[in-house]
A and B are shown apart, each in its own frame.
Chain A
Amino acid sequence: MEEKKDVQGKLWEVFTQKKTGAPHEHAGSVRAADKEMAMMNARDVYSRRNEAVSLWVVPSECIVASQPEDAGPFFDPANDKAYRNPNFYKTPTGVKQIS
């Protein structure tokens, strides 16, 4: 059988915002030929029950992600700065309204 290579479209990552004021969260991905189709597919796949009031679609290839193997050294700089945490500081007994 003469089989042409199948076209499934580009991969797009979908982010949904559940209600205004909430952050956009990653929901999954869709395949689509262009951004309009990606947006419609994202609506049909990830918001059939009003799960979103706003959608972002981003070509997957455009996402720059940190690598798990870098996790240690990459996030290290935060490790020795306990003074960023309010618990680092002792307040005299009885002092109120200072978080």
Chain B
Amino acid sequence: MEATITEAQLEKEFQQKIDSGIVIEPKDWMPERYRKQLIRMMSQHAHSEVVGMLPEGNWITRAPSLDRKAILLAKVQDEAGHGLYIYSATETLGIDRAEMMEQLHTGKAKYSSIFNYPTQNWADIGAIGWLVDGAAIINQTALAKCSYGPYSRAMIRICKEENFHNKQGYQILAYLMRGTKEQQEMAQDAMNRWWWPSLMMFGPSDANSPNSAELMRWKVKLHSNDDLRQRFIDRTVPQAEAIGLTIPDDKLRWNPDTRHYDWGEINWDEFYAVISGNGPCNHERMSARVGAHEKGRWVREAAAAYAQKHLN
């Protein structure tokens, strides 16, 4: 009985800290569920950065110029770095990196569904930088103010770098839109395929988001999925118009009363199908990831053996 009272008391004090804006650090007491939810969210986020390298990595050898190739290489390297920032932040919660890797490779941990769509042509690289990273920036700017110190610090670092990703992607599409008719069609086609999956990145609608209330009470989330999605739409539509791209949504229009865009309906069946493993590239991504990990195993083992030998 004594123990239960203490636990309840600790939890109350924890909530008071959160409510008064105190940031939680790794060694502070935290409810087990807060720890678990953060491990789930943060490792999923780290995995998304890592798996996110695969669709873009496809285009490094096929970038249309040396400049573009250098830029894309730097961007993909940043994504690896982002994965590492977040893995290291997640390890402060007491989970080991090897365990996180294993959860990814066995399918126990998820990653962002957006990376289960294929990159079919060069314009897709533009659409990923502009739309996918643009959506990620909105999410991550919010997370930069979350209640867990290491996660928030990793997000601040990442947000600075994502802006480069976002702008290089937009520039790719802007160039194509100034090009030939075929190039313009290619850009519009990429827009058509990536728009709705980008909106899905914000997660289920508030009504169907089971974890949201708890995460908001703990200030892990500061805004609802729908609010962030609207923020992304409001910011992105004028950018599309500026370069002559059409948003593939015939219900999209500016609402002067709400001062937001009204828009259509997400195909939630598709969203849940891709999440549960039936997207166009789920299998391909996972086998590429596991393959890379296995091919790198001898390097990790050799490095460990070398370190052991030179211990003294």
A residues with CB within 8 A of B:
4-9, 11, 28-34, 37, 44-45, 48-49, 65, 67-69
Contacts and interface: CB of A to CB of B under 8 A. Distances in A.
A5 B97 CA distance: 12
Contacts of A34: 303, 306-307, 310
Interface majority SS on B: helix, strand, loop or mixed? helix
Nearest to A44: B81
Interface in B256-312: 297, 300-301, 303-304, 306-307, 310
A6 B303 contact: no
A48 B81 CA distance: 9
Interface residues of B, number: 31
Contacts, number: 65
A33 B98 CA distance: 14
B230 interface: no
A45 B85 contact: yes
Contacts of A48: 74, 77-78, 81, 161
A65 B81 contact: no
B88 interface: yes
B102 A6 contact: yes
A8 B84 contact: no
A28 B88 contact: yes
A96 to B, nearest CB: 40
Given A28-B154, A44-B77, 17 more contacts: A4-B297, A5-B98, A6-B300, A8-B98, A8-B101, A8-B300, A9-B303, A9-B304, A9-B307, A33-B306, A34-B303, A44-B81, A45-B84, A48-B74, A48-B161, A67-B27, A69-B29
A45 B150 CA distance: 16
Nearest to A26: B153
A6 B294 CA distance: 10
Contacts of A67: 27
A57 to B, nearest CB: 12
A30 B88 contact: yes
A68 B10 CA distance: 13
Interface in B1-41: 25, 27-29
Contacts of A49: 161
5 closest A-B pairs by beta carbon, nearest first, are A33-B303, A34-B307, A33-B307, A29-B88, A6-B98
B307 A30 contact: no
Contact of A7 (B77, B102, B300): B300
B28 A68 contact: yes
A45 B154 CA distance: 12
B85 A8 contact: no
Contacts of B157: 28
A8 B97 contact: yes
Contacts of A8: 96-98, 101, 300
A7 B301 contact: yes
Contacts of A9: 300, 303-304, 307
Contact of A31 (B97, B150, B153, B161): B97
